[in-house]
Amino acid sequence: MPRTHRSHEGVSEADLLSVAFPSGGEDIVVEKGGSFPTVEELLPRHPTSLSDFLKDPPATPTPVFSETDQAHIDALRTKYSIPANVDMILAGRDFVEVHRPGYCAFYEYPFVIGYSFPLPPLAEEFCRFYQVCLVQLSPYTLKVLLLLTKYAELAECEVTVHHLLHLFSPSFHRGTMVHLRHRGTKGLVVGTDNRASHEFWHKYFFVRTEHVVSDPARFPERWNENPMGRPPRPIAGIRDWVTRLLPHAAETRDWPAL
């Protein structure tokens, strides 16, 4: 469980959130260094969708067949305590963009950083909001969703996709994967270590949708080639919400694997 030590008033200018995600699922470490962002630096004055997906997506990479075999799936079940009733099947000769009705494509990578089934509500809400499937979320996006969920839990406050989109805007990554970048002049999450995500797109499988999310009805399973920007809903007290999160972002020094 994360540890916190003092209130936001005690955060010094030398505290900067730097989150390292080592390979193999070891502890996630948050370190000092630099100047910690203020609420004013994190929140843009007028968040809109005008800059969301502003640039055309980069060229779509050449599709690759999955390297995940039955031994990988068996190992995932054991290592991450995935219940036997969760229906996980091999991709075979289907690329990750192929739609299998009733199933979601899923990378092995999210398990490394702490995901399990069913997905955290924020991840499910994000996919529904942009109508994108799970495998369209970049590694950094997956990390941000998990971190904000944890910070909100520690601060004992809610977190929705609209809270997230006051801090981050979506852009394209590796074709039409969805990446996040901070809207303000500084970001709440910086310096993430991406070694664990090296060639993550080579290892994927399919999972029955009803085992992935709490409510499978109309959950997006198909790859969306044209996600559209949408402005976040205005949130009364968004500054207070960010202020409540900051002590936990600033003071957490190590986490067990989520």
Q: What is the mean pLDDT of each run of 10 residues along the chain (258 residues)?
A: 37 36 34 63 70 85 94 96 96 95 96 92 97 95 91 94 93 92 76 67 97 96 92 90 86 40
Q: What element of type H or E holds 76?
A: helix 70-79
The identity of residue 84, as a single letter, is A
Q: Where do the structural domains in the chain lie, given as residue ranges?
A: 39-185+194-240
Report the predicted TM-score, pTM, of the whole model to 2 decimal places: 0.81
Rounded CA separation 45/183 (Å)? 10
Rounded CA separation 86/37 (Å)? 41
Rounded CA separation 168/242 (Å)? 13
Measured in degrees and rounded to the nearest 5, phi and psi for residue 246 equal -55, -45
Q: Are 11 and 246 in contact (CB under 8 A)?
A: yes
Rounded CA separation 79/72 (Å)? 10
How far CA 67 is from CA of 72, 90, 206, 231, in Å, comes to 9, 10, 13, 38
